[in-house]
């Protein structure tokens, strides 16, 4: 990644490369502002410290994300991203339970359910979005559904699962998750398969050979080159 991660310059770079889909995690500040940020604390990648949920937006907005080359950029609000990129689709992961309700309210206020997919490691969090929006919102599978899909793939039986997309790593604790049977079973169940986080071209090619529908990466320029090589960049 050439720009400080999860910042407006990083997202702008992806859009400038031609991407139409962006993934981000969100956290909520002490005063209810949703920010696009991966970690629950500022410590790892910014010039500040503290838990985001304990800080106000005024405090979080003073922190600067530091890139690998030393460049700095502020943490963006989610509403800022939705306004800045009105034609871009977003995959959003509310990282904590406290961010779920503010995210649902923001999506309703922006009337942007048609360009958002929500993913989460929490089955209950996903259920809250399902209860609020029904079939009007795209949802990823939760951990229980992913486990059921993996088991079903071993006997090549397409299960009925709540959700639209299986978003998974290629392996979990050394155990392969994404293989030909997994992808075939997901597709038979009407699900897309997105794999994270893939930064090496060789693995990108391998996953595309399996028929995955999406790849999440920290190296968008590299993934774009792979798509161009395969003649699938549009």
Q: What pLDDT shows up at residue 65?
A: 98
- Give the Å distances, CA to CA, from 111 to 114, 116, 163, 191: 8, 10, 20, 24
Half-sphere exposure of 151 (CA within 13 A, CB side): 9
The closest alpha carbon to 36, from 49, 22, 47, 48, belongs to: 22
Domain residue limits, the chain: 140-234
Where are the strands (E) in the chain, listed by range?
21-28, 34-36, 64-66, 72-74, 89-94, 116-118, 138-139, 165-168, 171-172, 175-176, 192-195, 214-215
Report residue 83: phi and psi, to 5°.
Answer: -75, -40
**CA distances, 162 to each of 5, 62, 208 (Å):** 31, 40, 25
Handedness of CA 32, 35, 38, 40 (dihedral sign): negative
Determine how many CB atoms are found less than 10 A away from the CB of residue 184.
16
Per-residue pLDDT tens digits of the chain, which is 234 residues long: 568 999 999 999 999 999 999 999 999 999 999 999 999 999 999 999 999 999 999 999 999 999 988 999 999 999 999 999 999 999 999 999 999 999 999 999 999 999 999 999 999 999 999 999 999 999 999 999 999 999 999 998 999 999 999 999 999 989 999 999 999 999 999 999 999 999 999 999 999 999 999 999 999 999 999 999 999 998
d(CA 132, CA 124): 12
Give the SS3 label for residue 135.
helix
Class of the CATH domain delimited by 140-234:
alpha beta
Question: What ranges make up the beta strands (E) of 34-75?
Answer: 34-36, 64-66, 72-74
What pLDDT score does 110 carry?
97
For residue 234, the model assigns a pLDDT of 84
Question: What is the structure's pLDDT at 2?
Answer: 67
Which of 184, 187, 123, 174 shows the shortest CA–CA distance to 154? 184
d(CA 63, CA 156): 49
Q: How far is CA 17 from CA 175, 194, 224, 233, in A?
A: 34, 20, 8, 11
pTM across the whole model: 0.94
Per-residue confidence (pLDDT) for residue 1, from 0 to 100: 57
- To the nearest 10 degrees (0 to 180), the angle between helices 220-230 and 201-210 is 50
């Amino acid at each position: 990644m050439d720009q400080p991660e999860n910042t407006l310059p990083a997202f702008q770079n992806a859009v400038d490369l031609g991407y139409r889909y962006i993934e981000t995690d969100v956290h909520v500040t002490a005063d209810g502002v949703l920010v696009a940020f991966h970690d629950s604390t500022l410590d790892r990648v910014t010039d500040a410290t503290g838990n985001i949920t304990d800080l106000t937006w005024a405090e979080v907005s003073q922190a600067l994300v530091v890139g690998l080359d030393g460049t700095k950029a502020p943490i963006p609000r989610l509403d800022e991203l939705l306004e800045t990129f009105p034609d871009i689709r977003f995959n959003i992961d509310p990282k904590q339970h406290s961010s779920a309700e503010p995210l649902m309210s923001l999506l309703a206020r922006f009337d942007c359910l048609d360009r958002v997919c929500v993913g989460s490691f929490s089955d209950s969090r996903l259920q809250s979005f399902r209860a609020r929006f029904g079939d009007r919102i795209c949802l990823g599978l939760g951990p229980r559904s992913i486990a059921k899909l993996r088991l079903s793939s071993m006997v090549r039986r397409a299960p009925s699962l709540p959700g639209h997309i299986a978003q998974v790593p290629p392996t979990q604790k050394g155990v392969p998750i994404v293989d030909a049977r997994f992808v075939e079973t997901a597709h038979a169940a009407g699900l897309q398969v997105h794999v994270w986080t893939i930064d090496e071209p060789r693995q990108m090619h391998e996953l595309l050979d399996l028929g995955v529908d999406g790849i999440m990466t920290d190296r968008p320029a590299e993934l774009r080159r792979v798509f161009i090589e395969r003649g699938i960049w549009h």
